[in-house]
Amino acid sequence: MSHDNASLPQPLTLLAEDERIFRDSVREFAEAQVRPLVREMDEHAKIPKTLVTQLFDLGVMGIEIPDAYGGSGGTFFHSVLAVEELSRVDPSIGVLVDVQNTLVINAFARWGNDDIKKRYLPRLASDTVGAYALSEAGSGSDAFALTTRARQDGDDFVISGRKLWITNGNEADVFIVFSTINPDAGYRGITAFVVDRGMPGFTVGKKEDKLGIRASSTCELIMEDCRVPKANVLGEIGKGYKTAIETLNEGRIGIGAQMIGLSRGALDATIKYTKERKQFGKPIAEFQAVQHQIARAAVDVEAATLTVYNAARLRDAGKPFLTEAAICKILSSEVAERVASLAVNLFGGNGFVKEYPVEKFYRDAKIGQIYEGTSNLQLQTIAKQIMG
């Protein structure tokens, strides 16, 4: 029996032709346009505006937005592929695209009325970055312990409060802000608002100085009697909790894509390095101990990839994916940390310096177990689902 690749069963990660073409185009862009900027972006903790413009031109900033609104008319799975391929080179760029597509655009597409869609989707498809503002100082894992308040005043709502750790804060011009209208109603008092940069009373505060994904901006948002038109309520008043929960479930798949992309980038760099690095008269790739460690990492990455792809396929098929999203988020983030750590080990001393790429992958990996729901929260979700 032949054991060449042609005789092996088709892998579960087999892509449709349009998906393969799309993936390859994003990979080519990432290699040509993103890779030369990675170290500079990390050191300066900033994404150049020209690169953001190029991402819009490529069509990856409005993947699921219908053609009628100027978007790419793609699927959620296309978004996953884009985030994965960009994260192979720089997870900071991966999360910029991820938040835009899996959180912001998904929220507009699902919860926005016709007026909001007409006003915002063309902008998000062409030149406007979005951000998703839920977290607060006392509202992280306990997502609905919000202190940001909104009160109605005529045809407007007036919002006051602060949001923390908001991805895309510096780049965004449109923000989905969650606020409580009726604190006595608990989570049923939460409402989502669309806030434009420049609205009176709204400012972007300090940018966090982070361990990893440094080029991606993480900012504080400050609202001091910020006046927002009633027409900018996203979804129904008092139903913001549904918007948050359902959108975050999709966002977790996006973070899974970021983490498997990071893992692949770290593993690719490690395989290349072990073939070049010589010790005891031969490349270290020829040592069985090294081969086995790389093989184990490859197994982990493939397993994590399957869980991410499975969750994305279920979402596109309109089937339940809550448990699968939690599984892919926790597994992919744990794999990313393990693979990045192995990469640093196999690079040896070179793995600890910034001249080589793996120390950055190691720093970038840590956030995967924290944002979009910590690993403990994912375990709690999985336990509830499988144990009833």
The CATH number covering residue 263 comes to 1.20.140.10
What pLDDT does 120 receive?
Answer: 98
Residue 1 has pLDDT above 60, yes or no: no
Nearest alpha-carbon partner for 64 in 236, 326, 312: 312
Catalytic residues: 372
Choose the final residue of a domain: 80, 99, 129.
Answer: 129
Question: What is the rounded average pLDDT of the residues 335-361?
Answer: 98
Categorize the per-residue pLDDT at 5 as very low, low, confident or very high, splitting at 50, 70 and 90.
very low
In Å, what is the CA distance from 167 to each residue of 103, 252, 371? 11, 14, 10
Structural domain span for residue 186 = 131-238
pLDDT tens digits for range 108-150: 999 999 999 999 999 999 999 999 999 999 887 786 789 999 9
What pLDDT does 139 receive?
Answer: 85
**Residues 166, 214: one domain?**
yes
Residue 2 has pLDDT above 60, yes or no: no
**Residues 368, 258: one domain?**
yes
**Residues 279, 291: one domain?**
yes
Residues, the chain, total?
388
Question: What is the rounded average pLDDT of the residues 76-105?
Answer: 98
Spatial contact of 117 and 235, defined as CB atoms under 8 Å apart: no
What pLDDT does 388 receive?
Answer: 84
**Residues 321, 252: one domain?**
yes
**Residues 93, 135: one domain?**
no
**Residues 101, 150: one domain?**
no
Categorize the per-residue pLDDT at 11 as very low, low, confident or very high, splitting at 50, 70 and 90.
low
| Count of domains for the chain | 3
**Residues 68, 119: one domain?**
yes
Instruction: Give the span between the Cα atoms of 322 and 178, in whole angstroms.
Output: 22
What pLDDT does 4 receive?
Answer: 43
Query: What is the residue type of 371?
Result: Y
What pLDDT does 13 receive?
Answer: 67
Q: Is the dihedral of CA 71, 75, 79, 82 positive or negative?
A: negative
CATH number at residue 65: 1.10.540.10
Residue 6 has pLDDT above 50, yes or no: no
Choose the final residue of a domain: 223, 238, 253.
Answer: 238
Chain centroid, CA 53 distance in Å: 19
**Residues 258, 311: one domain?**
yes
**Residues 306, 351: one domain?**
yes
Half-sphere exposure at residue 363, Cβ-oriented, CA atoms within 13 angstroms: 20
**Residues 375, 258: one domain?**
yes
Which of 11-25, 270-284, 346-360 has the least mean pLDDT? 11-25
Average pLDDT, the chain: 95
What pLDDT does 238 receive?
Answer: 94
**pTM of the full structure:** 0.95
pLDDT tens digits for range 228-261: 999 999 999 999 999 999 999 999 999 999 999 9
Q: Is the dihedral of CA 355, 356, 357, 358 positive or negative?
A: negative
Choose the final residue of a domain: 112, 129, 146.
Answer: 129
**Residues 247, 383: one domain?**
yes
Residue 207 has pLDDT above 70, yes or no: yes
**Residues 199, 285: one domain?**
no
CATH number at residue 144: 2.40.110.10
